[in-house]
Amino acid sequence: MKNKIWLSSPHMGGGELKYIHEAFDANWVAPLGPNVNGLEQDLATFLNENVQVAALSAGTAALHLALIECGVRAGDEVICQSMTFSASANPIAYQGATPVFIDSEKDTWNLCPVALEDGIKDRISKGKKPKAIIAVHLYGMPFKVDEVMAVANRYDIPVIEDAAEALGSTYKGKSCGTFGRFGVLSFNGNKIITTSGGGALVCHSEEDKEKAVFLSTQARDDAPHYQHSHIGYNYRMSNICAGIGRGQMEVLKSRVDARRKMCDFYVDLFKNVEGIDVFVAPNADYYSNHWLSAITIDAAKIGITREDLRLALLAENIESRPLWKPMHLQPVFEGAPYYGGKIAEKLFENGLCLPSGSNLSEDERTRITDSIQNTLKK
């Protein structure tokens, strides 16, 4: 059997071990230390805005703390893009709140501003104004920031930007993760850079960041003994993981370039194939890190389904994956309100993510080309 070609695998830069050794030498083997502070500074500098960053144990933890800081409590409603990974929506349930799911639009596959406004109006008419909006930059593609923010501002609802897949992406030259009241980043093993597991909350005030750090370190009041007046969490990032992150930050720009080249590779591969479209930016305002390259397949035109292609690649030991199954179609969220049409549903039926790693070799790309061309010939 040939080596497995993964959808997206960790890609170390070489500098990571230096920071880990420093942590061991200074005995900072704990969920605090110089690497944690250093990574937060590196991220704030990279995002290139006046932001404060809190390094956490996961992107999911960052979303949870963002909801808490937005005042979401049991019985509240929170709007969430339906087409996403379940981690975008699960923290709503952690708070005992109800998710209200919204369809995507065709250009960016992200939150549809029209369905968003319909949903907000309808929830308000039913007696509850949503407490927050979770908008996602799917696969690194920025959502329609101007349109979504305009709707959110019209109703004065805070936006939590799920930029877990979009570190290095920009909209009109500004970093994804810096537009909302809070931004969420992830450094899970499959993301564009990794700390093995980790995440961060992007804040716009020192106060918001301090609150996130306080809640993520068990909410200890200022006292010599252990005194608590809030429920706390153990969500802080470890200084070892942060060391990996600091090394990864040194190569982030080249990782973005490599992922974008993988997307160009697929654009070239499918350029004369009628019935397969590669997911690309609608115009120059949108700069995607192309964390994952994705295609949609028109089975009526080309005679194969996305499942046919997925299985053909799997037979060659090449991993591919259907697009995220929308949350309003997930058994666990059955009965949650939903606004919009069938755009997310159709994307799920016809869409496939292809190997996108920054570490794929020329040989591996040739294997991908051969497998796909052989499948299309049949």
Ligand X SMILES: *Cc1c(COP(=O)(O)O)cnc(C)c1O
> Where do contacts with ligand X occur on this chain (CB under 6 A)?
58-60, 84-85, 87-88, 136, 162, 164-165, 186, 188, 199
For ligand X, the closer CB: 171 or 270: 171
Give the shortest CB-15-to-ligand X separation in angstroms. 22
- Residue 13 CB, shortest distance to ligand X, in Å, is 19
Question: 100 or 164, CB closer to ligand X?
Answer: 164
Q: Which is nearer to ligand X, 186 or 371 (CB)?
A: 186
Choose between 192 and 372: whose C-beta lies nearer to ligand X. 192
Q: Encoding tokens for residue 67?
A: 């909801």
Q: Is 330 exposed, middle or buried (0-12, 13-18, 19+ CB in 10 A)?
A: middle
To ligand X, the closest distance from the beta carbon of 162 in angstroms equals 5
**Closer Cβ to ligand X, 113 or 245, answer by number:** 245
290: left (phi over 0), alpha (psi -120 to 50) or beta: left
Number of CB atoms found within 10 A of residue 239's CB: 27
116-133: b (≥16 Cβ within 10 Å) or e: bbbbbeebeeeeeebbbb
Output the smallest distance, CB 166 to ligand X, in A.
9
> Residue 327 CB, nearest distance to ligand X (Å)?
11
> Which residue's beta carbon is nearest to the bound ligand X?
59
> Closest CB to ligand X among 59 and 99?
59
Nearer to ligand X, 88 or 98 (CB): 88
Helices (H), the chain: 16-25, 34-47, 59-69, 90-94, 113-125, 145-154, 206-216, 239-249, 252-269, 299-302, 306-315, 343-350, 362-377
Task: Enumerate residues 6+ apart whose C-beta is below 8 A from 316.
Answer: 2, 367, 371
The alpha carbons of the chain give a radius of gyration, in whole angstroms, of 21
Tell me the C-alpha distance between 125 and 85, whole Å: 29
Give the shortest CB-78-to-ligand X separation in angstroms.
14
Instruction: Say how many C-beta atoms besides its own lie within 10 A of residue 362's C-beta.
Output: 7
Shortest separation between residue 59's beta carbon and ligand X, angstroms: 3
Nearest Cα to Cα of residue 277 among 252, 302, 312: 302
SS3 183: strand
